[in-house]
Structure 1
Amino acid sequence: MAEVTRLHVARRLERCTVLGPGVRAVIWVQGCPLSCRGCVAAETLPFEGGTPLAVPELTDWLCRLPDIEGVTLSGGEPFAQAGALAELLDAVRARRPEFSAMAYSGYRHEALRDGSPERRALLERLDLLVDGPYVAARHAALRWRGSANQRLIALGDRYAHVPAEPDTSAGVEVSVEPDGSLSWAGVPPTPGFREGLEEQLAARGFVLRAEARREA
């Protein structure tokens, strides 16, 4: 019997409007070798941790979500688990052919194109890529990106128009989880967002769960 491929996942979100075009699901993978200074998702950096989830389980989850046009892959570093994510996208598109895919990567597009077969396979399955490491000194309020060195690259025709649209911050979304805790998603338009949010919440008696602290 063939071994089931698993992804190490830090977090999932069923609906998000600030991490890519339209309404999207988001998967934050666990583990990143780059460890950019100023990363506000430090919990996703260690390769230890996260939840191992089978590709068929994630496929079923994505395929049953109504009224979403695709998935955004973030982390962590999605291209550190490129083979499993390519397999996931193939499985989803076998059932939902029009499902779109966007990913964030700390690697440049050119490096990914010249990378391993697994990284090239994932890249070939994407419609949009945000590339490059987060650089705190170049923080900017850009669309779906945290710093001015990062690029929004259309990989195909579906979103070819997107890079020409207004390049302004999409903001962040704050959600209340079923257990009453708070979580957020998006790319903060200002530096120090996480610290400021935590201070404001603490002043009001709220604690933001460590595992719920995420940025693209």
Structure 2
Amino acid sequence: MAEVTLLSVARRLDRCTVLGPGRRAVIWVQGCPLRCRGCVAAETLPFEGGTTHTVDELADWLCGLPDVEGVTLSGGEPFSQAAGLAELLDTVRTRRPDFSAMAYSGFRHEALRRGGPERLALLRRLDLLVDGPYVASLHGGLRWRGSSNQRIVALTDRYASTATEPDISAGVELSVEADGSLSWAGVPPAPGFREGLERQLAARGFVLHIEARRES
């Protein structure tokens, strides 16, 4: 019997326009070995927690989203589950060959290239990588990034044009979940965004869903 690959997921979103080019699905994985000061989604850092999904379950979900052009992998640290995510992209592309892939990582591209075969396998399947740790003192309103040390690295020609496009914040998106709770996605253009948003919502009787994308 074939071994089933499992992925630990903190959250997923079926449509997003602020975490990569076009309209994308997003998967935030659970667990990160880094502890960037100012992380806006500390709940995704522990390797305990999250929801376990098989690769086939996530592939069926992604392939059932006809109006998205690809997936953005965030977290948490996607390269801590590199083998499973590489398998996921291969599984999706057997059914949707043109499905694109982008990932965030707190590690630099150069470090990932010196990593083991699992990290290299995931790198080879990506079109875009946003690399480097979030540094609060370098925070800026940048495209898809939280701080100026982070880079958008084009790994294929598909999104090579991003290097010539305006490097300004894509903003954030608020979503209302089926249970009435609020969540958000994106890279905040200003530090302290999450705390300020939670205060404003609480003053109006709303509770923000705790799962959100970290800045690195």
User: Shorter-chain TM-score: what band?
Assistant: over 0.9
Task: Verify: 1:7 aligned to 2:2, yes or no.
Answer: no
Q: Is the 8 A contact 2:74 2:213 kept in 1?
A: no
Task: Verify: 1:190 aligned to 2:194, yes or no.
Answer: no
Task: Please give the alpha-carbon distance, in whole angstroms, between the structure 1 residues aligned to 2:132 and 2:212.
Answer: 21
Residue type of the alignment partner of 1:213: A
Task: Please give the alpha-carbon distance, in whole angstroms, between the structure 1 residues aligned to 2:41 and 2:209.
Answer: 12
Task: Please give the alpha-carbon distance, in whole angstroms, between the structure 2 residues aligned to 1:172 and 1:161.
Answer: 22
Task: Please give the alpha-carbon distance, in whole angstroms, between the structure 1 residues aligned to 2:44 and 2:107.
Answer: 16
Task: Please give the alpha-carbon distance, in whole angstroms, between the structure 2 residues aligned to 1:65 and 1:110.
Answer: 33
Displacement of 1:93 in angstroms is 0.5
Q: Report the secondary structure of 2:25's partner residue.
A: strand
Q: Report the secondary structure of 2:160's partner residue.
A: coil
Matched with 2:156 is 156
Residue type of the alignment partner of 1:186: G
Displacement of 1:98 in angstroms is 0.3
The percent identity for this pair of structures is: 79
Deviations 1:6-49 (A, max 9, x none): 00000000000000000000000000000101000100000000
Task: Please give the alpha-carbon distance, in whole angstroms, between the structure 2 residues aligned to 1:119 and 1:164.
Answer: 28
Residue type of the alignment partner of 1:66: P
Moved over 4 A (4+): none
Task: Verify: 1:80 aligned to 2:54, yes or no.
Answer: no
Matched with 2:106 is 106
Matched with 1:54 is 54
Matched with 2:116 is 116
Matched with 2:213 is 214
Q: Report the secondary structure of 2:97's partner residue.
A: coil
Displacement of 1:208 in angstroms is 1.0
Q: Is the 8 A contact 2:78 2:85 kept in 1?
A: yes
Task: Please give the alpha-carbon distance, in whole angstroms, between the structure 1 residues aligned to 2:214 and 2:135.
Answer: 14
Q: Report the secondary structure of 1:141's partner residue.
A: strand
Displacement of 1:144 in angstroms is 0.2
Task: Please give the alpha-carbon distance, in whole angstroms, between the structure 1 residues aligned to 2:176 and 2:70.
Answer: 23
Matches within 5 A, 1:139-154: 139-154=139-154
Q: Report the secondary structure of 1:101's partner residue.
A: strand
Task: Please give the alpha-carbon distance, in whole angstroms, between the structure 2 residues aligned to 1:56 and 1:183.
Answer: 26
How many pairs align?
A: 215
Matched with 1:70 is 70
Task: Please give the alpha-carbon distance, in whole angstroms, between the structure 2 residues aligned to 1:89 and 1:18.
Answer: 21
For normalisation by structure 2, the TM-score amounts to: 0.98
**Which piece of structure 1 moves more, 200-209 or 185-194?**
200-209
Deviations 1:139-169 (A, max 9, x none): 0000000000000010011011112210000
Residue type of the alignment partner of 1:154: A
Displacement of 1:215 in angstroms is 3.7
CA RMSD of aligned residues (A): 0.7
Task: Please give the alpha-carbon distance, in whole angstroms, between the structure 2 residues aligned to 1:113 and 1:213.
Answer: 28
Task: Please give the alpha-carbon distance, in whole angstroms, between the structure 1 residues aligned to 2:9 and 2:45.
Answer: 11
Matched with 1:31 is 31
